[in-house]
Amino acid sequence: MADNGEMECCGPGYASPQAAMQGPRETVLYTVALYIGTGIQKPDYLATIDADPDSPTYSQVISRLEMPGIGDELHHLGWNACSSCHHDPTKERRYLIAPGVRSSNLHIIDCATDPRNPRLHKVISGDEIKEKTNLSAPHTVHCLGPDIIISMLGDAKGEAPGGFLHINEDFEIVGRWDTDLKGMKFNYDFWYQPRHNVMVSSEWAAPNTFMPGFDLEEVGHLKYGREIHFWNFEERRVENSVYLGEDGLVPLEVRFHHDPASSHGFVGAALSSNIIHWYKDGAGEWVIEKIIDVENQRHPEWPIPVPGLISVILLSLDDRFLYFCNWLHGDVRQYDITDPSNPVLTGQVWMGGLLGKAPEVHGHRMTAGPQMIQLSLDGTRLYVTSSLFSTWDNQFYPEIREKGGNMMMIDCDTEKGGMSINPDFFVDFGNEPNGPSRCHETRYPGGDCTSDIWV
């Protein structure tokens, strides 16, 4: 324990978002790196990156933990413990869960014994998950006190709607967490806010639909989501599904305010390139509104205008700034959301993308477009990676197969707003020992803006 009675970085979390913002600077980053889709028959791996600017290996991969098999498609990561169990000093943010979307394997990685050299602790077989729960394709991992719940995008055969997997602190399968999906058509991301007894989940598509690649016609055939779902959190059931229509095509990343008393939340609708905001009004009813609309852009090689394709959203720990990436356009945006219904654009940088607006920074250009982001606890450093999903990468940015992905960093002004690309940080996954790989989500040992939920 720290002198002020709050949990230190190595514990499960911080007593409040404000305490987390005062936490130490990240010294290493954990980023998933993929060989699937490259033609290189090697396992996906967890790359540990040196984030200490005073280190001689700054912005380099310093260790690589290979998964036991080939073809997992590691995607998102999550911790075994977070700030939702900060009241329990016996819990430790020790294990990182790395799901394989294609294999359905869950890799439990010990990051505490040697943070610079994580090691594999256990694997929960995808076959066991399918047999016991009829679920597959794990995506988002959230700590739930001592236990863990994971959104699963499909059933054992890869069809929608999937559901939620419940595992305990010993990484044993408890069963399905959900009790009633109530007509939910698809699954993707989720976030819960227990003071309001609510969880919100979003929709992508069935694994059998999105895994081969993107087909625009399948959107018209209603094979991609356009709803968000409000759950009775205690009863684990869908209470209300909200149809977002043409303004909410393929709603992906879900974020509530970090303030546990707030009812405000946001979702990025990828294909319609909109940010949707929700909150509870004075009568206790949920209000849903579109607050940001990214206009499609014409491209000489596209038969239709190119959507921004909002692939990720993130809120700073003080809930002041919202960040998101337009993976196809190639820009990362920062909005001041002090008034959540009236966001103000305060920063924008171009990194990769199809529109040709991204500059070269000290000899470097981003391969593909800005896809996943992770913000430092103090809000001043935004790390950006470029891979979305292997088949989608190859479809929209075929050069990534030969060049590999990369990670860059954006310096963020937390007082006035504003962003600029840091010229000294560049991780090139095109020069990996086994050949070019591609990078996706990033986590820090002490927790981050997208894993901590306060109660």
Condensed to tens digits (0 to 9), the pLDDT of residues 20-68 reads 899 889 999 999 999 999 999 999 999 999 999 999 999 999 999 999 9
Q: Considering only CA atoms, which of 264, 197, 263 is closest in space to residue 233? A: 197
- Report the pLDDT value the prediction gives residue 8, as an integer from 0 to 100: 35
Distances (CA, A) of 400 to 19, 31, 36, 350: 39, 17, 12, 18
Q: Quick one: CA torsion of 162, 163, 166, 171, rounded to 10 degrees? A: 20
Phi, psi angle pair for 136, to nearest 5°: -150, 175
- Report the pLDDT value the prediction gives residue 128, as an integer from 0 to 100: 98
- Report the pLDDT value the prediction gives residue 11, as an integer from 0 to 100: 54
Give per-10-residue mean pLDDT for the chain (455 aa).
Answer: 34 81 93 96 98 97 98 96 77 93 98 97 98 98 92 98 97 98 96 97 98 96 98 97 97 97 98 98 96 97 95 98 98 98 98 95 91 96 98 97 97 97 96 97 89 87
Q: Are 370 and 409 in contact (CB under 8 A)?
A: no
C-alpha–C-alpha distance, residues 109 and 70, integer Å: 17
Strands (E), 198-246: 198-201, 227-232, 237-243
Q: Quick one: CA torsion of 107, 112, 116, 119, rounded to 10 degrees? A: -30
Q: What is residue 390's three-state secondary structure?
A: helix
Written as one string, the DSSP assignment of 360-383 is: PBTTB--SS---EEEE-TTS-EEE
Region of 362 on the Ramachandran plot (φ > 0 left; ψ -120 to 50 alpha; else beta) = left
C-alpha–C-alpha distance, residues 280 and 282, integer Å: 7
Q: Considering only CA atoms, which of 138, 145, 155 is closest in space to residue 190? A: 138
Q: Which residues pair with 45 in a beta bridge?
A: 33, 66
Ordered by start, the domain boundaries in the chain are: 17-443
Q: Are 207 and 137 in contact (CB under 8 A)?
A: yes
- Report the pLDDT value the prediction gives residue 12, as an integer from 0 to 100: 67
Written as one string, the DSSP assignment of 125-142 is: -HHHHHHHHS-EEEEEEE
- Report the pLDDT value the prediction gives residue 90, as an integer from 0 to 100: 77
The 8 Å CB, 24+ separation contacts for 49-54 are 49/407, 49/427, 50/116, 51/25, 51/26, 51/27, 52/25, 52/27, 52/28, 53/424
Residue type, 8: E
C-alpha–C-alpha distance, residues 274 and 322, integer Å: 13
Tokens of 88: 């329990």
C-alpha–C-alpha distance, residues 75 and 372, integer Å: 10
Q: Are 212 and 277 in contact (CB under 8 A)?
A: no
Say whether the peptide bond before residue 161 is cis (omega within 30 degrees of 0).
Answer: yes
Q: Which fold is adopted by the domain 17-443?
A: Methylamine Dehydrogenase; Chain H (2.130.10)
Q: Considering only CA atoms, which of 189, 162, 194, 374 is closest in space to residue 269? A: 189
For 231-288, the pLDDT digits (tens) are 999 999 999 999 999 999 999 999 999 999 999 999 999 999 999 999 999 999 999 9
- Report the pLDDT value the prediction gives residue 14, as an integer from 0 to 100: 83
